[in-house]
Amino acid sequence: MDQPVVSPVDVQVTWADKQAFMEVIRGIQGDELALILHSPGGQIEAAQSIVEYIRSKFSRVTAIVPDAAMSAATLIALSADKILMGRQSNLGPIDPQFMIPLQNTLVPISAQSLLEEFERARKEVKHDRDSLLVWAPKIQQYPPGILEEARNAIELTKKLGREWLARYMLKDEPSANKIAGHIVNYLSNHKQLRSHATPIRAERLKELGLVVENLEEDQKLQDLVLSVYHAARITFQSTLAHKIVENSDGRAFIRIVSQYSQGTVQRK
């Protein structure tokens, strides 16, 4: 996925992407999968559905990140047995984000920031009732039930990250649950990481306890991975394609979005 023409929503991981994965994985033989990830992330539940499908089909998964796998894509990478990354590659924070409609546009807001802002408003209004005049118009912009949605999203993200790490990547570690908890707490800490777009490099991920290998250590594999990556980027930049899910046999699901229409091209 690359930069959108219309909206950031166009390139996010959504429920429809599970169908794309099912289509391109169908018929693949063997119990190992090398998954090249380049994505800004998206819906947590959609990522969960994709991971559960992939892990039901393959007993060993290697996530390969030639550039960036952020947010929900980072969560997908955590479900792998190991991650391959280049020197300039990065994962990102997994703190859930909400696309809030504000002034005729969609604005991404951290779930943790939402909770903290409401708590700050509560304290300030309790201390000074006049501050309600400042806070009320801002709070009224948010949809009903957003606080509970934010809490649930944070809890689900942490739960999935801990479970997948302990079950797959850290399965041979005696303290798998403890290490998994440490990793997830760091990756979901919006206060510490400051931004949802904060790049987290391979060395830091290794320090946290993730099983990360350097892509440069296998020059042939690196050349193959980068060839796929650059071909995808050229396609994004020169066509209306915004999502590509493709297997090594050339079977692909391609999402096309323009200002006037949207659709899916399936290549067999």
- Per residue in 180-224, pLDDT (tens digit) is 999 999 999 988 898 888 999 999 999 999 999 999 999 999 999
Is residue 4 very low, low, confident or very high in pLDDT (cuts 50, 70, 90)? very low
- Predicted TM-score (pTM) of the model is 0.89
The more confidently predicted of residues 163 and 262 is 163
pLDDT at 3 over 60: no
pLDDT in the model for residue 263: 56
The percent of residues in the chain predicted with pLDDT above 70, rounded, is 93
- 27 by DSSP, 3-state: which? coil
Across the chain, mean pLDDT equals: 90
Q: Are 39 and 13 in contact (CB under 8 A)?
A: yes
pLDDT in the model for residue 59: 97
Q: Provide the sign of the torsion angle of the four alpha carbons 151, 152, 155, 156, taken in this order.
A: negative
pLDDT at 230 over 80: yes
pLDDT in the model for residue 123: 95
- 173 by DSSP, 3-state: which? coil
- Per residue in 59-94, pLDDT (tens digit) is 999 999 999 999 999 999 999 999 999 999 999 999
Residue 29, both tokens:
């033989």
Alpha-carbon span 84 to 86, nearest angstrom:
7
Q: What are phi and psi of 120, to 5 degrees?
A: -65, -40
pLDDT in the model for residue 97: 84
What is the identity of the amino acid at 18?
K
- 254 by DSSP, 3-state: which? strand
Q: Are 115 and 147 in contact (CB under 8 A)?
A: yes
pLDDT in the model for residue 89: 97
The β-bridge partners of 100 are 107
- Per residue in 146-180, pLDDT (tens digit) is 999 999 999 999 999 999 999 999 999 999 999 99
The more confidently predicted of residues 41 and 78 is 78
What's the whole-number mean pLDDT along residues 7-27?
87
The β-bridge partners of 264 are 255
Alpha-carbon span 94 to 145, nearest angstrom:
22
What's the whole-number mean pLDDT along residues 124-143?
91
